[in-house]
Amino acid sequence: MLASVVNYTARQFARAIVMPNLNPPVTTMAAADAYRSRITAALDPGIKFTPLMTCYLTDSIDPSEIARGFTAGVFTACKLYPAHATTNSSFGVTNVENIYPVLETLQRIGMPLLVHGEVTDKHVDVFDREAVFIDKILSQLIVRFPALKVVFEHITTSEAAAFVESGPATLAATITPHHLDINRNAMFEGGIRPHFYCLPVAKREHHRLALRRAAVSGSPKFFLGTDSAPHAIGAKESACGCAGIFNAPHAIESYAKTFEEEGALDRLEAFASEHGPRFYGLALNSERIVLERAAQSVPQRLSAADTEIVPFHAGSALAWRFAGLAP
């Protein structure tokens, strides 16, 4: 599967934060190095792409391994998955207090913490789990570790957008193209629509509009993060209905669609290419891409290894087209 999908991301983006929720997860420098090698080996000839590797946090992970990996340039960040919150998160953190020594290390060395922000208590409504996570966990975490850089990944609610905007400079958030484009109705139009199912799940319309306002606001606290997840049709159209939306083939065009609809195309470049690197302390890319106003139809399915994947916007027309690198 990796060789079939990695170039969709690599052709549009010079680098990407690579999430560690494999099975088994990426918890060591050796595992991260091996995964990075598999990614680079799968790139098409002539494509320049830098995978930025992350470390999967567990209750018992060794802070010294993380620090060594960060110092050596193997790890760019750590990822906190509450146990059982999403795909391949069964090894995740059961109680954030279990990783306080890790968070103290991250704060000391300046290594960002990336957060999947949902509680997993079965008594909390699935549509409320992000807001409850803010109240019960994240609000306390940023007070306890005031110098820790935190990226609230793939936010989905007005509460998250407001929390990040009002928070300290050490707190930022990514927003996906699909959470900017769909609300929860998309999963139920004309029946169950599993290809619109992801975690965190899409929310009500007023949350989507709040995300759009945040994305186009120009605030450096919000930046691009696709959370693209390639699941085969058989895995999506099944009893499990695996969570994830494969938006990589047309991610930048989807963002352009949103920014144009909001009258903010002049702010797309900063959202896509500047805010994120500056938060991470990375240099901006020197090369530029070209987006053309040229209609294109998104195919219903894409071949991937010995299966097929349904891409985001399948069967729809997009007004923008990625035209490659600028000369």
For 193-207, give one letter per residue: b (16+ CB within 10 A) or e: ebbbbbbbbbbeeeb
CA atoms within 13 Å, Cβ hemisphere of 206:
3
Q: Which of 59, 62, 135, 227 is catalytic?
A: 227
- Give strand pairing partners of 16: 51
First to last CA, the chain: 32
Q: How many other β-carbons are positioned within 10 Å of the β-carbon of residue 189? A: 10
266 is catalytic: no
CA angle 305, 10, 220 (to 5 degrees): 135
Residue 174 neighbours by CB under 8 Å, 6+ apart:
151, 152, 153, 154, 155, 222, 223, 224, 225, 227, 276
Q: Answer whether 269's CB lies under 8 Å from 291's CB.
A: no
Residues serving a catalytic function are 227
